[in-house]
Amino acid sequence: MELAGLRSRLERLGSTVTSQVWRLGYASRFLFYLVAHSGTALKRFRLTTAEIYFAGVLSLVIILVSGLFVGMVLALQGYETLQRFGASESLGVLVALSLVRELGPVVAGLLFASRAGSAITAEIGLMKATEQISAMEMMAVDPIARVVAPRFWGGVISMPLLAALFSAAGIFGGYLVGVQLIGVDAGAFWSQMQAAVDLRNDILNGVYKSIVFGVAVTWIAVFEGYDAIPTAEGVSRATTRTVVTSSLAILALDFVLTALMFTGGSH
Amino acid sequence: MNRSMIDLWVGVFVVVGFAALIFLALKVGNLASFSTDDTYQVQAKFANIGGLKVRGPVKSAGVVVGRVADIRFDNESYEAIVWMTINLHYQFPRDTTAKILTSGILGEQYVGLEAGGDGVMLKNGDRVRLTQSAVVLENLISQFLFNKAAEGKPEEKK
Amino acid sequence: MKQTQIVEIRNVSFGYDPARPVLRDINLTIPRGSVVGIMGQSGCGKTTLLRIIMGAHLPSKGEARVLGHATGSLDGAGLYEMRRKMGMLFQFGALFTDMSVYENVAFPLREHADLPEALEHDLVMLKLQAVGLRGAAHLMPTELSGGMARRVALARSIALDPQLILYDEPFTGLDPISFGVIVRLIRDLNTSLGATSIIVTHDVQEALDVVDYAFFMAAGRVIAQGTPDQIRASPEPFVNQFVNGKPDGPVPFHYAAPEYAADLELA
């Protein structure tokens, strides 16, 4: 009967939604526990430093290269449009604001999620699958404090720095294309940019965004890894979930933060 | 990768990251041009501020000397009160005129200060007495049409 | 204050799912200084019993007393205290793959004792010498064979001179030589440390050569216990089938299925 099929589908949808909500609650408790037991990660900062290396330093290449290309494309595309309104001297403003407010935090966040986030999930998931986590518990060492917390703080510290590097590389790329290649006046490029980009409202807001994204992405990455089913398939699914969930979270948070920070400003 | 190499690279990463932030702050943003402690505030009343926004520039002779800090509405005189923050290096006489001007033809609006000749300078909290409001496009057009109608022939009235 | 019974399991029942008990009313005691085997088929509950002894799970009924404390009465700190006096060898070693052999064995020392480096070095070398792998200290876990990895894991589990050593399937997948090595190590370490050892395994013949006493489990209950000779001579049909490796007996060869003729669509 049609109705029975529909009803079972609704029931399944309902249970999926409730299980997701339950999982979010579980993940939140995990985060609180993690932060509460971050003493080891901060006192033995060497552990966190190693994670900053794996999450941040090893992401440098992809971040800088991507930033450079994004900036170059912005300059190319921007020039085409601005030139039609005789506003080509505002190219610097366009490139800088786009990067600092939006593209820097968001694109760097997405790249970070796929490179470092998935690596963190895979690593923790595999440790779980090969009983390394259990072994640690048996040796009376809290695996969340010893393994998870350093990775969390490593990611949170790396993310804003990577976003800033992305924006800087992008602006440099924009300069290369705009001034060197296309021929926009260098003085106008930089001076208009300086006049239009505000430290507090634009740059600092961009930094806040990247901190929020860093927390979100790293939280998702460590949680999915720790919660993964300890088989090869389970770990692979967890890694995929990290990338997908992080990306969606970044875009959704970006909307919320942009609405809070950049619109409805004082007049 | 031994311990000291990791420490080295992390150190480099953090330094470079902060350098990028500082680069953004100084070269890209406008931190370098303004520090918040050596300024003073003056206010001015306008019949219409047009499209003037907070953080808009305050210029004199085309040079940025300050920023619009706050815009309020005076419910008694039904005028706009504009508070401006001006760099202490620049002193203006009490009879300075504040006009709301437009950069270019369709650009952003700013406050232009034209210095008068009075010997006494404006102090923190003083009011600029001579002001000229923004030019509102609709008023301009209706004035133009009115003039045209007044001087022209009756057939041209539409 | 020395306990004579290191482990006392009294009327313990447990199930991961309350509706399906894995352990039913288990009673056993393990005296100090002995090497004891807990044997049975896969799925009989022996690994679960080991986890109860470890304190990873609490019994739903009954009490598990380990090293003088009931596991149910311990809080988190108490549990970690108890585990510091225990060592566990996981089935495939569960070595930390991002650390060398030396660092793996040093891990419990570094986490729980603040020793000067020279002393730590000597202790690690001592433990590695005990398992015969002092020359492999600089190798990474991925460079070790299965048998060697397990020996390193054994060295790690005795790093803090535990009073109770647990072995989860220590003989699985070992060649005869490695097997001989492990057997010798279990005995020697138990004697030299003055500890008690519990071996969970289904390798009956091998285990009976090592242990002082054995418990036989099937379907969540202890169905036989005794010295190796007693077990070998046991009249209990299941034990008999298991010890002699007979393919058919109380545990049938055929998995439950409908009539053969009906399946082949004859008659």
Q: Model confidence over B58-99: pLDDT tens digits?
A: 889 988 888 888 889 988 889 999 999 888 888 889 889 999
Which pLDDT tens digit goes with each residue over A117-138?
A: 999 999 999 999 998 998 998 8
Instruction: Say yes or no to pLDDT of A212 above 60.
Output: yes
Contact C88 A130 (CB under 8 A): no
Instruction: Tell me which chain A residue has its CA closest to the CA of residue B25.
Output: A199
Which is nearest to C159 in space by CA: C130, C189, C186, C124? Answer: C124
| CA of A131 vs chain C CAs: smallest distance (Å) | 5
Examine the domain organization and report whether B115 and B74 are in the same domain.
yes
Q: Provide the H-helix boundaries in B1-156.
A: 3-23, 137-151
| CA of A53 vs chain B CAs: smallest distance (Å) | 5
Winning range, highest mean pLDDT, from A3-7, A189-193, B83-87: B83-87
| CA of A135 vs chain C CAs: smallest distance (Å) | 6
Tell me, yes or no, whether chains B and C touch by having 3 or more C-beta pairs under 8 A. no
Contact A140 C92 (CB under 8 A): no
Residue B98 burial (CB count, 10 A): 26
The confidence band for C15, taking pLDDT boundaries of 50, 70 and 90, is confident
Q: How many domains does chain B have?
A: 2
Task: Please give the model's pTM, rounded to 2 decimal places.
Answer: 0.80
Chains that touch B (3 or more CB pairs under 8 A): A
Which carries the bigger pLDDT value, residue A1 or residue A15? A15
> Could you tell me if residue B142 is left (phi over 0), alpha (psi between -120 and 50 degrees) or otherwise beta?
alpha
Q: Cα(A126)–Cα(A57) distance, rounded to whole angstroms?
A: 22
Strands C69-70 and C221-226: what pairing? unpaired
| CA of C159 vs chain A CAs: smallest distance (Å) | 10
- Name the residue facing A199 among B6, B16, B29 (closest C-beta): B29
Examine the domain organization and report whether B14 and B71 are in the same domain.
no
Testing the interface with A: which of C53, C74, C80 to mutate, by most A Cβ within 10 A? C80
Examine the domain organization and report whether B19 and B80 are in the same domain.
no
The CA distances from residue C17 to A226, A248, B53, C13, C14, in Å, are: 22, 35, 66, 12, 9
Instruction: Tell me which chain A residue has its CA closest to the CA of residue C81.
Output: A140
Examine the domain organization and report whether B65 and B128 are in the same domain.
yes
Q: Cα(A167)–Cα(A173) distance, rounded to whole angstroms?
A: 10
Which pLDDT tens digit goes with each residue over C55-82?
A: 888 888 888 888 888 888 888 888 888 8
Instruction: Tell me which chain A residue has its CA closest to the CA of residue B28.
Output: A194
Winning range, highest mean pLDDT, from A207-221, C25-39, C215-229: A207-221
Q: Which DSSP string do the residues of A94-135 spell out, in sequence order?
A: HHHHIIIIIIHHHHHHHHHIIIIIHHHHHHHHHHHHTTHHHH
What six digits make up the tokens of A224?
């999915």
Residue C108 burial (CB count, 10 A): 23
pLDDT number for residue A154:
95
The mean predicted confidence, pLDDT, of chain B is 82
A-chain residues near C50 (CB < 8 A):
none
How far, rounded to the nearest angstrom, does the alpha carbon of residue C199 sit from its chain's CA centroid? Answer: 4
The confidence band for A265, taking pLDDT boundaries of 50, 70 and 90, is very low
The confidence band for B110, taking pLDDT boundaries of 50, 70 and 90, is confident
Which is nearest to A148 in space by CA: A65, A213, A218? Answer: A218
Instruction: Say yes or no to pLDDT of A88 above 80.
Output: yes
pLDDT number for residue A185:
83
Mean pLDDT within A41-56: 91
pLDDT number for residue A255:
93
The confidence band for B2, taking pLDDT boundaries of 50, 70 and 90, is low
Which pLDDT tens digit goes with each residue over A24-48?
A: 999 999 999 999 999 988 888 888 9
The amino acid that residue A28 corresponds to is S
Examine the domain organization and report whether B117 and B75 are in the same domain.
yes
Winning range, highest mean pLDDT, from A155-164, B125-134, C229-238: A155-164
Q: What percent of chain C has pLDDT over 70?
A: 98
CB A47 within 8 A of CB A150: yes
What six digits make up the tokens of C123?
């202790």
Which pLDDT tens digit goes with each residue over C136-177?
A: 899 999 999 888 899 999 999 999 999 999 999 988 888 888
Instruction: Say yes or no to pLDDT of B34 above 60.
Output: no
pLDDT number for residue C44:
79
Tally the C-alpha atoms within 13 A of residue C165's C-alpha that lie toward its C-beta.
Answer: 30
Domain spans in chain C, listed from the N-terminal domain onward: 5-230
Contact C111 A139 (CB under 8 A): yes
- Name the residue facing A197 among B1, B3, B30 (closest C-beta): B30
pLDDT number for residue C261:
77
Examine the domain organization and report whether B113 and B82 are in the same domain.
yes
Examine the domain organization and report whether B119 and B94 are in the same domain.
yes
A207 touches chain B (CB under 8 A): yes
Examine the domain organization and report whether B137 and B65 are in the same domain.
yes
Tally the C-alpha atoms within 13 A of residue A58's C-alpha that lie toward its C-beta.
Answer: 17
The confidence band for A266, taking pLDDT boundaries of 50, 70 and 90, is very low
Q: Which CATH architecture has domain C5-230?
A: 3-Layer(aba) Sandwich (3.40)
The mean predicted confidence, pLDDT, of chain C is 85
Whether residue B48 lies inside any domain: the answer is yes
The confidence band for A173, taking pLDDT boundaries of 50, 70 and 90, is very high
Contact B27 A266 (CB under 8 A): no
Mean pLDDT within C260-265: 78
Whether residue B84 lies inside any domain: the answer is yes
Which is nearest to A146 in space by CA: C88, C96, C166, C127? Answer: C96
ipTM of the complex: 0.81
Whether residue B24 lies inside any domain: the answer is yes
Which is nearest to C198 in space by CA: C2, C46, C41? Answer: C46
Q: Which domain holds residue B60?
A: 40-142
A-chain residues near C96 (CB < 8 A):
127, 132, 135
Contact B29 A203 (CB under 8 A): yes
pLDDT number for residue C1:
44
| CA of A71 vs chain C CAs: smallest distance (Å) | 38
The CA distances from residue B149 to B107, B140, B156, in Å, are: 30, 14, 7
Examine the domain organization and report whether B13 and B60 are in the same domain.
no
Examine the domain organization and report whether B96 and B69 are in the same domain.
yes
